[in-house]
Amino acid sequence: MSADLVVALLADGAPASALAAGFEEEGVPLSVRREPGEAGALARDAAAQAVLGLGIGGDETRLVLVLAAAPGRPYLEAPVTRGRSFAKAAARVAARRPLRLPYE
């Protein structure tokens, strides 16, 4: 699938492989790109680029999911140590499946 349905912009130190694994397990395509910046700002940029309006930003401390329609605050947020479960939750937002919260 070529379209960027959900976009992740990740700075150095963000857990790209955990993010990818979480999306793969949920069967949701994810486009990951490396870009410097702060998680929140990256997520807003990513949301603007994503066809589904869902953007993920990550830096060395946290991961953030932002909705393009409500970019003012994160819809989901987690420390990088919870990368895999954050990714599953973010993928579920995209797939419109119930989330499992809080992150385990």
1 binds another protein (CB under 8 A): no
68 binds another protein (CB under 8 A): no
Query: Whole-angstrom Cα distance, residue 49 to residue 45?
Result: 7
In the complex, minimum distance from the CB of residue 96 to another protein, in angstroms, rounded to a whole number? 5
> If we measure between CA atoms, which residue out of 101, 61, 96 comes closest to residue 79?
61
Structure tokens at 24: 């793969």
In the complex, minimum distance from the CB of residue 71 to another protein, in angstroms, rounded to a whole number? 11
Residue 79 φ then ψ, to 5°: -70, 160
Residue nearer to another protein on the CB measure, 9 or 66: 66
44 binds another protein (CB under 8 A): no
Contact 67, 74 (CB under 8 A): no
Distances, alpha carbon 69 to alpha carbons 30, 54, 61, 98, in Å: 19, 9, 25, 20
97 binds another protein (CB under 8 A): yes
Residue of 13, 25, 51, 61 that binds another protein (CB under 8 A): 25
Binding site for another protein (CB under 8 A): 21, 24-27, 67, 69-70, 75-76, 88-89, 92-93, 96-99, 101
